[in-house]
């Protein structure tokens, strides 16, 4: 993660395509019908780059169960000290109003509003009327979430499960590269689009929000319909939940929770192991992604299966066993991980996971620390948790219910 006071302004532009505003019911129908990050037959597979573009307005924010794009940029902000309490509520309403209108104009083709809080659209923010190139074509999504401290600063009711994550034994966290009163996740198939959008939205926030840190990530080039591989050479993201499971374990009243972890990986150390030992640590075959003892990537991971000699097929200290939903009464999180590369000495995973309650992540992480042999090769260096706001319906701004 990188601390930044401002962001460079990249080149770019393309006029957004005008779209009709969806009603809540129609939007939910589109969400159900559109290929999703929660799918039955391709659960972890990013869609091929290109259309369809994702709408901004709707009951739920995009960037959670929408198909995964190839690039991500997460930016954390802190609320300025001088705008807290009732003043902070008013100031943040203005920021959310500007962001809502700018994103709705750019992604939905919405006509500019005469609202006094409307700032310039993202297009104008970038270059005096020159729009971002390919915002729709790059399938840009913007996902806004609030951190645990923000409700206290604003003196508003906090979502029930929004609290700081507990400390974990193997964490090596730098406070300067974690936390945040507000998180902005931008995803697209072109990193120039995410960078340009972050620059525009940061300017629209004015003096109300102060950038705290940011982290980029990307997926390895992957054929359409296949699961990307991580820096260890294994397929990553195979066991994501189905749409039905997402309704049960990810969404709650059109909101969810996001856990962000910047995980350094000892790529060289893991690479020195033989393939068989690597597979024992992960619990999957490296070539196919299938669970050990199985043939296909999406075969069931039966962590209790044993050989005729009484040995577990999936090793007791494997990664897939420690992460298994069977150890959490079936509870699941939706992962949208991206690799990061800060040079030969620092490569790893930008871990993004969505769930109904961050307590699930805490349970899994404690279990991994104690029983996962992969822990020898990873180090958590950055961390944040946040509540992903419900989407902005037609005629309302992001955060309308939180700041009412």
Which residues are tagged catalytic? 236
Name the phi and psi angles at 350, rounded to 5: -90, 100
Q: Would you tell me how many other CB atoms lie within 10 Å of the CB of residue 285?
A: 19
Angle between helices 191-204 and 85-108 (to 10 degrees): 140
Helical (H) or strand (E) element with 341: strand 338-341
Any idea which residue has 């620092």 for tokens? 346
Those residues with Cβ within 8 angstroms of residue 245's Cβ, 6 or more apart along the chain or in another chain: 38, 332
Report the alpha-carbon distance of residue 268 to residue 58 in Å, rounded.
44
Nearest Cα to Cα of residue 24 among 395, 278, 404: 395
CB 136 within 8 A of CB 16: yes
**Phi and psi based region of residue 131 (left: phi greater than 0; alpha: psi -120 to 50; beta: remaining):** beta
Of 147, 100, 137, whose CA–CA distance to 15 is shortest?
137
Alpha-carbon distance of 242 to 332, in angstroms, equals 10
CB 343 within 8 A of CB 264: no
């Amino acid at each position: 993660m990188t601390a930044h006071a401002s962001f460079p302004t990249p080149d770019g532009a393309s006029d957004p395509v005008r779209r009709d505003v969806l009603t809540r019911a129609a939007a939910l129908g589109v969400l159900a019908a559109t290929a999703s990050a929660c799918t039955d037959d391709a659960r972890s597979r990013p869609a091929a780059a290109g259309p369809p573009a994702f709408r901004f307005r709707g009951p739920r924010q995009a960037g959670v169960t929408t198909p995964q794009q190839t690039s991500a940029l997460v930016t954390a902000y802190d609320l300025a000290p001088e705008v807290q309490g009732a003043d902070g509520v008013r100031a943040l309403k203005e920021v959310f109003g500007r962001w809502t209108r700018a994103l709705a104009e750019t992604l939905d083709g919405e006509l500019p509003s005469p609202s006094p809080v409307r700032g310039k659209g993202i297009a104008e923010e970038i270059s005096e009327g020159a729009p971002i190139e390919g915002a729709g074509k790059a399938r840009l999504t913007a996902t806004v979430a609030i951190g645990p401290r923000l409700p206290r600063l604003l003196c508003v009711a906090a979502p029930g499960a929004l609290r700081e994550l507990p400390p974990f034994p193997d964490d090596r966290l730098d406070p300067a590269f974690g936390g945040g009163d507000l998180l902005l996740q931008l995803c697209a198939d072109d990193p120039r689009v995410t960078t340009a959008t972050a620059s525009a939205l940061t300017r629209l926030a004015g003096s109300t929000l102060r950038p705290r840190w940011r982290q980029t990530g990307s997926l390895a080039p992957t054929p359409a319909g296949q699961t990307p591989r991580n820096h260890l050479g294994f397929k990553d993201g195979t066991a994501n939940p189905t749409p039905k499971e997402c309704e049960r374990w990810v969404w709650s009243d059109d909101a969810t929770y996001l856990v962000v972890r910047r995980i350094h990986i000892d790529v060289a150390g893991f690479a020195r192991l033989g393939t068989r030992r690597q597979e024992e640590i992960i619990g999957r075959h490296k070539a196919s992604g299938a669970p050990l003892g199985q043939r296909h990537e999406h075969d069931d991971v039966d962590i209790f299966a044993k050989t005729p000699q009484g040995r577990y097929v999936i090793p007791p200290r494997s990664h897939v066993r420690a992460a298994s939903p069977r150890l959490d009464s079936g509870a699941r999180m939706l992962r949208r991980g991206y690799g990061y590369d800060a040079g030969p000495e620092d490569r790893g995973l930008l871990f993004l996971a969505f769930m109904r309650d961050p307590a699930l992540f805490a349970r899994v992480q404690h279990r991994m620390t104690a029983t996962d042999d992969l822990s020898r090769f990873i180090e958590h260096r950055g961390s944040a948790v946040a509540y992903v706001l419900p989407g902005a319906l037609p005629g309302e701004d992001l955060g309308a219910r939180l700041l009412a």
